[in-house]
Amino acid sequence: MSMAGNLRKVTGLDRVGGLRRMAGLTRRRRRVDLSHPVRSPLGSAVVNCVAYREGVRIPGGRDLAETVERAGRGDGGFVWLGLHEPTDREFAGIAELFGLHPLAVEDAVEAHQRPKLERYGDTLFAVFKTVCYVEHKELTATSEVVETGELMVFVGPSFVITVRHGMHGSLGPMREELEADPRQLAKGPAAVLHAVADHVVDDYLSVTDAVQEDIDEVETDVFAENGARADPGRIYQLKRELLELKRAVIPLDRPVQELATRPSRMIAPEIQAYFRDVSDHLQRAKEQISAFDELLNSILQAHLAQVSVAQNEDMRKITAWAALIAIPTMVCGVYGMNFDHMPELHWRFGYPLALAVVGVACLVLHRGFKRSGWL
Structure confidence at residue 228 (pLDDT): 63
> Do the domain assignments include residue 173?
no
Q: Is the pLDDT of residue 140 over 50?
A: yes
In the chain, pLDDT over 70 holds for what percent of residues? 80
> Do the domain assignments include residue 323?
yes
Q: At 55, is the pLDDT very low, low, confident or very high (cuts 50, 70, 90)? A: confident
Specify the pTM.
0.72
3-state secondary structure of 59: coil
> Do the domain assignments include residue 322?
yes
> Do the domain assignments include residue 324?
yes
| Residue 255: Cβ-neighbour burial (10 angstroms; 0-12, 13-18, 19+) | buried
H/E run at residue 279: helix 269-335
What is the CATH classification number for the domain harbouring 322?
Answer: 1.20.58.340
Q: At 319, is the pLDDT very low, low, confident or very high (cuts 50, 70, 90)? A: confident
Structure confidence at residue 349 (pLDDT): 72
> Do the domain assignments include residue 353?
yes
Most confident of 39-43, 72-76, 206-210: 206-210
**146 - beta bridge partners?**
133
> Do the domain assignments include residue 317?
yes
For residues 168 and 132, is the Cβ–Cβ distance under 8 A?
yes
Measured CA to CA in angstroms, residue 81 lies from 115, 156, 162, 175 at distances of 21, 12, 6, 11
| Residue, of 199 and 8, whose pLDDT is higher | 199
Whole-number average pLDDT of the chain? 79
Q: At 342, is the pLDDT very low, low, confident or very high (cuts 50, 70, 90)? A: low
Residue type, 320: A
Q: What is the per-residue burial (b if ≥16 Cβ within 10 Å, else e) of 38-57?
A: eebbbbebbbbbbbbbebee
For residue 343, what are the domain limits?
310-372
> Do the domain assignments include residue 59?
no
Query: How many folded domains does the chain comprise?
Result: 1
Q: At 42, is the pLDDT very low, low, confident or very high (cuts 50, 70, 90)? A: very low
> Do the domain assignments include residue 366?
yes
Q: At 201, is the pLDDT very low, low, confident or very high (cuts 50, 70, 90)? A: very high
- The mean-pLDDT minimum among 190-199, 293-302, 314-323 falls in 314-323
H/E run at residue 332: helix 269-335
